[in-house]
Structure 1
Amino acid sequence: MKTGYQEKKLVTTAIYHVFTFLFACVMIYPLVWMVMSSFKNTNEIFRTAASLLPERFSFENYKVGWKGFAGYGFGNFFKNSFIIAGLSTVGAVISSAVVGYGFARIDFKFKGFWFACMLLAMMLPFQVIMIPQYIIFNKMGWVGSYLPIIVPQFFGQGFFIFLNVQFIKGIPIDLDEAARMDGCSIYSIFIRIILPLVKPSLVTSAIFSFMWRWDDFLAALLYLSDPLKYPVSYALKMFSDPTAGSDWGAMFAMATLSLIPIFFIFLTMQKYLVEGIASTGIKG
């Protein structure tokens, strides 16, 4: 027989789940509306905006959208996005792990000062350094290529460095000392001891880095002028033309396809993402 406390707790839990479900529906509705609208023709999208389901499911928007514009197909744009996001992720994860190991395990002069500088740099919005960066990259002759977007990722990212520092600090220092007694250098300790143990942190960094670079519109807008080099995030804008009719159906169709890699990565790596964030928060 349930007590008054158990009944009260059951009611509270039920109310919490109902409100959470309703809130989730409100949050996910725009995404579902976009996906459903990708199966409508452009005239129907706003004529029946209140209706979620299309009158007739059609894949014409996907055919038209995949052809792209001006002879540049979306297959090329997806390839560009994978190149940018893939290389940037590799650079950000490796460099941030190395720098994080240095801050967590190696004593060097002005260590606290440089760590504070890293935290301050992490807090700066991109808009603050956007113009100085552009001037520097323009003088280097990098504007118009992927170099301004990819190369900076190979010098560590503040959030990922902080993530790795917190995670590495949770690893017992005794493991390092035991490895030194066996003749391991600091490099061997990093490769053989630390890296295998910080796998959740590395995967978490990789997921966030890939998502941020995949969705990055501003960097492509600043540094790329050749449509052949556009990533998906920037190419989607080409379907919108304020001076003429915009092909919203094709835009929604390609936007829906652009979400597939992100969903796939999140679903397959969700365990490591949760473990990495939870472990970092506990061990800090």
Structure 2
Amino acid sequence: MTLIRPRWSSHLFLTVFSLIMIYPVIWWVGASLKPLDEMRLPAIWPSAPMWSNYSEGWNFSAQYSFTHFFANTLLMEIGNVFGGVVTAALVAYGFARVNFKLRGMWFAILLLTMMLPTQVTIIPQYILYNSIGLVDSYVPLVLPHFFGGGAFFVFLIVQFIRGIPRDLDEAATIDGSSVYGIFLRIVFPLIKPALVTVAIFTFVWSWDDFFAQILYLSSVEKFTVALALRMFIDQFEIQWGQLLAMSLLSVLPSVVLFFLAQKHFVEGIATTGLKG
């Protein structure tokens, strides 16, 4: 009995805590179905669910629907995830396995860039992209992911690679494999959990990066989902029901991706930093 009571109390606490954490999402779903005159009412669920908020919100513009904006965003995300995963893996492999001069110093400089605020670099970056005519395109949003993918991701994969025994590298070298062959045939398949973690973080962070998107994109035809949501807010009125409905749909890709890759994501976070 002494063992059962703490278990039940733990489950009860976690259940109550989970309901508290999920309450904003429940309110969000209910508010997305409310007519405009019920938005200020304390009731979570509307008296008569207004499902038309979703259809009207999806086709809120005569020229563009959210199908267009989702396609723009997913196209950008494909480039971001691919570039971030591949280049972060290559850079991390170089720091973890390849011996070159001043490797420790360069790795320390890489880690120091994690402490550099984004606000410090955003103006020089904008001036650079504007001078070469790349503003109002997806290049400023995608190109940085093809240069290492980010210091945090490189550090994460380096720690993961350090947990792989070097005996595998030595055995492959004896068999005549090159440095690139070892990376492609041995290291790359073994760091799959870390790569999935990088892919999820890259997808979610770039999907939600409203600041960079509004800075570099000005044409409506190139708008992402985040910028399209802003179009529901005008000078005189805000279509709250449609805005909440579309914002709810906008988070579904990230949620679906997380649940599809949850096993590898948890494994990548749990084993990163452990050495074999």
TM-score (norm: length of structure 2): 0.95
Mapping 1:196-275, distance limit 5 Å: 196-241=189-234, 243-275=235-267
TM-score (norm: length of structure 1): 0.92
1:181 corresponds to which residue? 174
Greater helix content: 1
1:74 corresponds to which residue? 66
TM-aligned CA deviation for residue 215 of structure 1: 1.3
- Structure 2 alignment gaps of length 5 or more: none
SS of residue in 1 equivalent to 2:251: helix
Q: What amino acid is aligned across from residue 38 of structure 1 in structure 2?
A: S
- Structure 1 alignment gaps of length 5 or more: none
TM-aligned CA deviation for residue 206 of structure 1: 0.6
Alpha-carbon displacement from aligned partner over 1:113-147 (angstroms, at most 9, x marks no partner): 11111111122232221112111111121111000
TM-aligned CA deviation for residue 152 of structure 1: 0.6
Does residue 115 (structure 1) correspond to residue 91 (structure 2)? The answer is: no
Mapping 1:15-34, distance limit 5 Å: 15-34=9-28
Q: What amino acid is aligned across from residue 72 of structure 1 in structure 2?
A: Y
Number of residue-to-residue matches in the alignment: 275
Alpha-carbon displacement from aligned partner over 1:144-174 (angstroms, at most 9, x marks no partner): 1000000010001111111110010000000
Question: Which of 115, 118, 126 pairs up with 2:118?
Answer: 126
2: distance between equivalents of 1:232 and 1:101? 34
Whether the 8 Å CA contact 2:160–2:274 is kept in 1: the answer is: no
Q: What amino acid is aligned across from residue 199 of structure 1 in structure 2?
A: K
Q: What amino acid is aligned across from residue 181 of structure 1 in structure 2?
A: I
Which range is displaced more, 132-141 or 99-108? 132-141
1: distance between equivalents of 2:251 and 2:262? 16
Whether the 8 Å CA contact 2:96–2:158 is kept in 1: the answer is: yes
RMSD: 1.5
Mapping 1:143-162, distance limit 5 Å: 143-156=135-148, 157-162=150-155
2: distance between equivalents of 1:38 and 1:125? 35
1: distance between equivalents of 2:111 and 2:62? 44
Whether the 8 Å CA contact 2:217–2:223 is kept in 1: the answer is: yes
SS of residue in 2 equivalent to 1:255: helix
1:62 corresponds to which residue? 54
Q: What amino acid is aligned across from residue 64 of structure 1 in structure 2?
A: E
Q: What amino acid is aligned across from residue 226 of structure 1 in structure 2?
A: S
SS of residue in 2 equivalent to 1:175: helix
Which range is displaced more, 187-196 or 65-74? 65-74
TM-aligned CA deviation for residue 69 of structure 1: 3.1
1:39 corresponds to which residue? 33
1: distance between equivalents of 2:119 and 2:26? 31
Which range is displaced more, 209-218 or 90-99? 209-218
1: distance between equivalents of 2:45 and 2:238? 21
2:96 corresponds to which residue? 104
TM-aligned CA deviation for residue 26 of structure 1: 2.2
Alpha-carbon displacement from aligned partner over 1:167-222 (angstroms, at most 9, x marks no partner): 10000000000000000000000000101100111111111111111111011111
